[in-house]
């Protein structure tokens, strides 16, 4: 029997976002690349949503839940952690609604760094908490909301030798712009419209930067219109003022004072787009629709982009924008549905418990005569 040789550091041909987009990123030959082969997520055509969006609309879903830790945060984290190692940092710190902590703790584990995580107590989804814990982060649950946790994290990083890896770290934004690159690479051009949930507003900022850089380099000709969606109970950008106690079931976008507020407004205005709000009801309807018509399980916060798509279609937005021309539309699905199994169960009917009887089971599951 032959002994298998040590497998290569990467499987297949996708090298992770740093190697895939190196000329666009703030790395040099001296930067140690810490990667879990993030990125290269599928852009999935949705016949069901295309139909709902309206005539001549072609809707694609960028399924970021398929990143290594289950959200787009990995795109930024590979760059932030690689740069932290390059800078000889030994510990990283973040405040998180969940996914940043999941990503930071995984990449820190990979790099041999300590990770410290501040989460709003009782307010993060179970799957995300389980990730931070199993990757060995030092987790502190703070009796405050995300915005207060971020303020605390900023202060700690100013006073102690830890690297802050929230999206206020510019390397995070740099890495996250690769999401836009991949969309353009897959379509051969930019989409007409790009819809995304907005929380701390780092991702809408990053995507806009990505599209602009691709256009500057001649990779695409036109830029998309950006539509961002906040939850109605956590919509500071829509209202034009800080929301002190943001409320929504979409915990990843439960943010009342976004760190990248100003750059989100710039992205909105330069792209001739909009940032609007969707209700929790609309978010949950879109969440179930995605799962039941497209077979895609995304977390509730992700469904905000689809809720926004449906609301925009209903308001005649795409018909006005397209004026009879075909429109290519991309919705970002930011995180995986398994992050929050409790929400999925709460949003469904619990299965009946039955005796092991053929007739009883057939009847209960809708087979045979009722």
Ligand X SMILES: *Cc1c(COP(=O)(O)O)cnc(C)c1O
Best CA proximity match to 249, nearest among 223, 279, 218, 206: 279
* Nearest residue to ligand X, by Cβ distance, number only: 335
Spatial separation of the C-alpha atoms in residues 269 and 41, rounded to whole Å? 28
Residue 278 Cβ vs ligand X, minimum distance, rounded to whole Å: 13
Q: Compare residues 191 and 199 and give the one whose CB is closer to ligand X.
A: 199
User: 68-97 burial, b if ≥16 CB within 10 A, otherwise e?
Assistant: bbbbbbbbbbbbbbbbbbbeebebbbbbbb
Residue 167 Cβ vs ligand X, minimum distance, rounded to whole Å: 6
Residue 361 Cβ vs ligand X, minimum distance, rounded to whole Å: 37
Residue 127 Cβ vs ligand X, minimum distance, rounded to whole Å: 11
Q: Compare residues 265 and 364 and give the one whose CB is closer to ligand X.
A: 265
Number of H helices, E strands in the chain: 16, 10
3-state DSSP call for residue 291? helix
Q: How far is CA 340 from CA 195, 328, 335, 344, 346, in A?
A: 22, 30, 10, 7, 10
Q: Compare residues 54 and 69 and give the one whose CB is closer to ligand X.
A: 69
Query: Which residues form the interface with ligand X (CB under 6 A)?
Result: 71, 73, 99, 167, 197-203, 252-253, 299, 301-302, 334-335
Residue 44 Cβ vs ligand X, minimum distance, rounded to whole Å: 17
Q: Compare residues 191 and 236 and give the one whose CB is closer to ligand X.
A: 236
Q: Compare residues 58 and 177 and give the one whose CB is closer to ligand X.
A: 177
């Amino acid at each position: 029997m032959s002994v298998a040789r040590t497998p290569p550091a990467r499987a297949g041909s996708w090298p992770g976002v740093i190697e895939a987009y190196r000329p666009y990123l703030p790395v040099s030959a001296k930067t140690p690349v810490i990667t879990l082969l993030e990125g290269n997520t599928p852009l999935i055509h949705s016949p069901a949503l295309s139909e709902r969006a309206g005539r001549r609309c072609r809707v694609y879903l960028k399924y970021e839940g398929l990143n290594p830790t289950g959200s787009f945060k990995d795109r930024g984290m590979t760059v932030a952690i690689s740069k932290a190692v390059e800078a000889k940092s030994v510990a990283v710190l973040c405040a998180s609604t969940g996914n940043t902590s999941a990503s930071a703790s995984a990449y820190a584990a990979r790099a041999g760094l300590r990770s410290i995580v501040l989460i709003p107590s009782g307010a993060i989804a179970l799957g995300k908490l389980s990730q931070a814990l199993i990757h060995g982060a030092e987790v502190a649950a703070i009796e405050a909301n995300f915005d207060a946790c971020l303020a605390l994290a900023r202060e700690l990083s100013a006073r102690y030798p830890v690297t802050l890896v929230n999206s206020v770290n510019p390397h995070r934004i740099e890495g996250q712009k690769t999401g836009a690159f991949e969309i353009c690479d897959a379509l051969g051009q930019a989409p007409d419209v790009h819809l995304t949930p907005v929380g701390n507003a780092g991702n809408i900022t990053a995507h806009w930067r990505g599209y602009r850089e691709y256009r500057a380099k001649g990779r695409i000709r036109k830029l998309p219109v950006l539509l961002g969606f906040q939850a109605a109970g956590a919509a500071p950008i829509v209202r034009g003022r800080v929301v002190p106690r943001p409320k929504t079931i979409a915990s990843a976008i439960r943010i009342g004072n976004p760190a990248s507020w100003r750059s989100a407004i710039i992205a909105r205005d330069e792209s001739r787009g909009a940032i609007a709000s969707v209700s929790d009801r609309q978010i949950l309807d879109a969440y179930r629709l995605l799962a039941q018509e497209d077979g895609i399980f995304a977390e509730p916060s992700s469904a905000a982009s689809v809720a926004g798509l449906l609301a925009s279609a209903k308001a005649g937005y795409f018909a006005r924008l397209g004026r009879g021309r075909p429109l290519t539309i991309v919705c970002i699905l930011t995180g995986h549905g398994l992050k929050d199994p409790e929400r999925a169960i709460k949003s469904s009917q619990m299965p009946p418990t039955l005796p092991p009887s053929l007739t009883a089971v057939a009847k209960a599951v809708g087979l045979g005569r009722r």
